[in-house]
Structure 1
Amino acid sequence: MGTSRLFRIFLVLGSAFMILLIIIYWDDVGASHLYLHTPVSPGPKTPHTPPQHHPQTSRTPSFLSDIDAFVNQFLEPGTGDPTDPAPADTTNQSERAEERYVPRREWKIHLTPVAAELRERQEQRRKLLQEMCANDGVAFPGKNRSFDDIPNKELDHLIVDDRHGIIYCYVPKVACSNWKRIMIVLSESLLQDGVPYRDPLAIPRDLVHNSSMHFTFNKFWKRYGKFSRHLMKVKLKKYTKFLFVRDPFVRLISAYRNKFELRNEDFYRRFAQVMLRRYANQPTPPASVDEAFAVGLHPSFSHFIQYLLDPQTEKDMPFNEHWRQVYRLCHPCQIQYDFVGHLESVEEDAEHLLRQLRVDNVVEFPTSHRNLTASSWEADWFSTVPLEARRELYKLYEPDFRLFGYDRPDSLLNE
């Protein structure tokens, strides 16, 4: 009698453990892919071949390998052919929303191929990244560390869309607002009256940069605990990864214009007051940005460059994301990006990328030329910056120049 009761107890505990395990790893990894409309890695349809079993050394399967197998069955890429059956829609909208929500047709037959020069452009950019990361002559902090060595807090710019198998590393001042809008539309993470947004520009601006709208790598640990890194690696392997970059010096000009030439209370208190005290002979700068602007006071571009070059700056805190180097935001030597877009060719690159992701009939990239900073303005902006400071600044951002194929600005550095 005692043995039978003990057996039933073990059976109940074992069943409870398996149910708990399924619930933990079903969330966002399993169930979400039952309604994955768009394939992760489109390619030619190939006949299914049974897995081949190779001799292995006697080793007990690890728990992580079991988790890997469980996750892979939901992350297996589709073929991308229009004839593939679309999985059932299992979105958990309210009954009222379901009555008005018409599932979007996400298959699209392209009658003409992507232009050869666009494919070649991407091949060259990916190849350059690989070469620079393998080149011992290109050195910068963190270059040779492994993905596991990257602190969790430095993975906060990697946005994941599990619905379409996409990972986007956003770089501030490189059209990131519009790309974040697109990620919200694709992931359907924001609803209006129970229906997902379809127009990126209709998303309220204050929500675009709201962290709750985006599921980023640094949030994995809260959901998956000690298995978060393993799941990151699975998704990095299976998903399409992209980022957009721009000329590093022009990006700095854009950051300065946006954060210090316009009224921004937060940036004034956190950064502008520091610059005014250190470099503008203002020991007691105005308490608010409105007071400062009323008397025509704000840091100059030269003050901003001094701030970036000052060793005390990074001793106080890491660079703000708006002027932090791309290699520190997106870790291009640890993550093999499938697509590298440039802001200078954003319209062509955006069209190419959305087509490659097979979502170009779902969403379009919203173009905007508002407050666009032109590269031709560099000479004017840097005219007040001493030559030696320009050279030091180039050393600080040289990895971004070389990794992403931007020419050394000799006209600014050789005067």
Structure 2
Amino acid sequence: MGTSRMFRVFIILGSAFMILLIIIYWDDVGSSHLYLHTPISPGPKVPHPHPPRQQPQTSRTPSFLSDIDAFVNQFLEPGTGEPTDPAPADTSNQSEKAAERYIPRQEWKVHPSPVAAELRQRQAQRRRLLQEMCANDSLEFPGRNRSFDDIPNKELDHLIVDDRHGIIYCYVPKVACSNWKRILIVLSESLLRDGVPERDPLAVPRNLVHNGSMHFTFNKFWRRYGKFAKHLMKVKLKKYTKFLFVRDPFLRLISAYRDKLETPNEEFYHRFARVMLRSYGNQPTPPSTVDEAFGAGIRPSFSHFVQYLLDPRTEKKVPFNEHWQQVYRLCHPCQIQYDFVGHLETAEEDAEQLLRQLRVDNVVEFPTSSGTLAAGGWEADWFSTVPVAARRELFKLYEPDFRLFGYHRPDSVLNE
């Protein structure tokens, strides 16, 4: 009888101890789930350079986030999020395996001088503008007032997570996203060459850059963490540095047209060009292949592309393709307070500043590129065959992106 009573006492004391640990643990990071209708961010991070170390570390001290991931994975398998599923072999996310054997390649750079004041001020202005526009009732667009919890999981597929370096990147097609994806692949060490992690972003093969298995996005949290997914997203949004790059919305559309419709692309020809030719190009039976079409001089014009974007039937059939979908729909800037907003027009300066802020500028450099479209008088040439009324309708369609990210109204195009 005495043994049974002592056993019950131990059970009660052990339970009380576990409850106390959970309360302390939860108080540290769990508060973010209480604020469901506010943007999640601690504000911009100011990097502090590490002093030089005498010996390279051979292992990293586990962070809270790695602890919570390990805790959740005790109960949820990556396959379906169900506790009772047999554990499948995880071959889709090599970056986590690479993290287990991670050894820093170089010491952190110690910068003797701070980031130039004008660059810091420019970033502060961009972030402040986003906050003001999101709070401005005169700027209305779908989804502006919804909470983070209201965003469907599929719409979070552009948020790439790097757990090793504490980074969340929202990629925007036609805004140097290929090079930023290359950088994240290099940082993840998920691409090995002769058993050694690839270090040169430009050496990452193009077919892997946009390969979904190379990137861990918020949309994949649901499969891995199940009902814990949203809470873990919020924890990482609070802890990690979040960034995106944008560009002039009209120039992005021109770039998308040139890349996907003006040049031969079998996929885009079948999915979009043939639709445009049938609906707006007087081609009831367009050629069946892109080679046949281009060989006969048949392709949609930029005016056809604009008609397609403005046609209310377009999105009734299928949402905009990511290459011309608005940035506010891809990256949700009114629900996520980004710590860094880069512009393609100042890409090199912004990339250098960001990599330094992330403290990875010793590991990787942003590849320089040429041929980027910049605003100029020639912009009106692209719209010369587009009626003025259609140009103004197109501006309304993309006006939130213009105003959120500080791009001027293109009067030279809209007032002719």
Interval containing the TM-score (normalised by the shorter chain): 0.7 to 0.9
Alignment CA distance shift 1:69-1:287 (3 Å): same
Pair 1:79–1:367, CA change in 2 (3 A): closer
- Corresponding position of 1:147: 148
Change (3 A) 1:335 1:102: closer
Q: 1:334-353 to 2 correspondence within 5 Å?
A: 334-353=335-354
Q: Secondary structure at the match of 2:127?
A: helix
CA contact (8 A) 2:256 2:323 kept: yes
Of 28, 51, 54, 1:82 maps to 51
- With over 3 angstroms needed to count, the CA separation of the structure-2 counterparts of 1:228 and 1:80, relative to structure 1, is farther
| C-alpha distance in structure 1 between counterparts of 2:162 and 2:389, whole Å | 44
Q: Which residue of 2 aligns with 1:292?
A: 293
Matched, 1:310 2:311: yes
User: In the alignment, residue 373 of structure 2 is paired with which amino acid?
Assistant: T
**Residues 9-408 of structure 1 aligned to structure 2 (within 5 Å):** 69=28, 80-82=49-51, 88-89=58-59, 103-370=104-371, 372-376=372-376, 377-408=378-409
Tell me the amino acid that sits aligned with residue 125 of structure 1. Answer: R
Q: Which amino acid aligns with 1:89?
A: S
Measured against aligned partners, the alpha-carbon deviations of 1:272-316 in whole angstroms (never above 9, x if no partner) come to 000000000101000010110110110000000000000000000
Query: CA offsets per residue over residues 350-370 of structure 1, 9 Å max, x none?
Result: 111111111111100001114
Match of 1:35 in 2: none
User: Contact conserved, 1:93 with 1:194, CA < 8 A, in 2?
Assistant: no
Amino acid at match of 2:206: R
1:189–1:214 contact (8 Å) kept in structure 2: no
Distance 2:362 2:245 in 1: 21
- 1:106–1:362 CA contact under 8 A, matched in 2: no
Q: Given that residues 68 and 234 in structure 1 are in contact (C-alpha distance below 8 angstroms), is that contact kept between their aligned partners in structure 2?
A: no
TM-aligned CA distance change 1:173 to 1:296, over 3 Å: same
Secondary structure of the corresponding residue to residue 225 of structure 2? helix
Supply the distance in 2 between the matched residues of 1:165 and 1:172 (Cα, whole angstroms): 22
Deviation of the 1:373 alpha carbon: 2.2
Query: Are 1:354 and 1:360, in contact at CA under 8 Å, matched by a contact in 2?
Result: yes
1:66 CA drift (Å): 5.1
Once the two structures are superposed, residues 167-224 of structure 1 have per-residue CA deviations (whole angstroms, 9 ceiling, x without a partner) of 0000000000000001111122222222211100000010000000000000001111
Q: Whole-Å Cα distance in 2 between the matches of residues 255 and 184 of structure 1?
A: 24
1:23 corresponding residue in structure 2: none
Q: Secondary structure at the match of 2:319?
A: coil
For CA contacts below 8 A with separation 6 or more, give which structure has more relative contact order: 2
Q: Normalising by the residue count of structure 2, what TM-score does the alignment of the two structures yield?
A: 0.80
Structure 1 stretches of 5 or more lacking a match? 19-59
Q: Secondary structure at the match of 1:89?
A: coil
Query: How much does 1:71 deviate?
Result: 8.4
Q: Percent of aligned positions with the same letter in both sequences?
A: 75
Residue of structure 1 equivalent to 2:85: none
Please tell me the residue identity of whatever aligns with 2:396: K
Answer whether contact 1:265 1:289 (CA < 8 A) is retained. Answer: yes
Which consecutive unaligned segments of at least 5 residues does structure 2 have? 32-41, 61-95
- Per-residue CA deviations over 1:233-253 (Å, capped at 9, x if unaligned) read 000001000000000000000
User: What SS class does the counterpart of residue 187 from structure 2 fall into?
Assistant: helix
> In 2, Cα distance between the equivalents of 1:375 and 1:61?
60
CA–CA distance in structure 1, aligned partners of residues 23 and 401 of structure 2: 35
SS of aligned partner of 1:375: coil
1:111-162 deviation per Cα after TM superposition (whole angstroms, max 9, x unaligned): 1211110000000000000000010001100000000000000000000001
Q: Distance in 2 between matches of 1:93 and 1:329?
A: 29
Q: Higher mean Cα deviation, 275-284 or 101-110? A: 101-110
Moved over 4 A (4+): 60-72, 76-80, 83-87, 90-94
Q: Output the TM-score relative to the length of structure 1.
A: 0.80
- 2:231 alignment partner AA: H
